[in-house]
Amino acid sequence: MQELTVPLNHVLFVSTLLFTIGMLGLMIRRNIIFILMSLEVMLNASALAFIAAGAHWGQPDGQVIFLLILSVAAAEVAVGLGLVLQIQKRFKTLDMDNANRMRG
């Protein structure tokens, strides 16, 4: 049975595309839920790049960095959910522009 390998350039292109989509979502959308989702997409894109590079060079460093990125993403989700709940409770909106205008 033949082994199926994907070229490093293709994986890095997909990773760059995902990171760009996340960056656009971060800059364009003002809803805090979409901002957090865009950050998650960007973290996953960087994790994909590290995994691909580690597999290409045969080193486990990419997988170690992936575990670090995974733990950072989990912490970001936990803190982000707490912020979303507090912003919704206090300002009755998840739009960051409206919440920013309602200050004192």
pLDDT for 30 equals 85
- For 95, the 3-state DSSP assignment is strand
Would you write out the chain's pLDDT as a tens digit for each of its 104 residues? Answer: 678 788 999 999 999 999 999 999 999 988 889 999 999 999 999 999 999 999 999 999 999 999 999 999 999 999 999 988 988 888 888 887 776 766 65
Distance CA 93, CA 9 (A): 42
pLDDT for 65 equals 95
* Residue closest to 51 by CA, chosen among 12, 89, 77, 86: 12
pLDDT for 98 equals 74
pLDDT for 29 equals 87
User: Which whole-number Å values give the CA distances from 82 to 23, 33, 57, 77, 78, in the listed order?
Assistant: 23, 12, 40, 9, 7
Write down the pTM of the prediction.
0.85
* Residue closest to 36 by CA, chosen among 97, 98, 78: 78
pLDDT for 104 equals 57
pLDDT for 1 equals 67
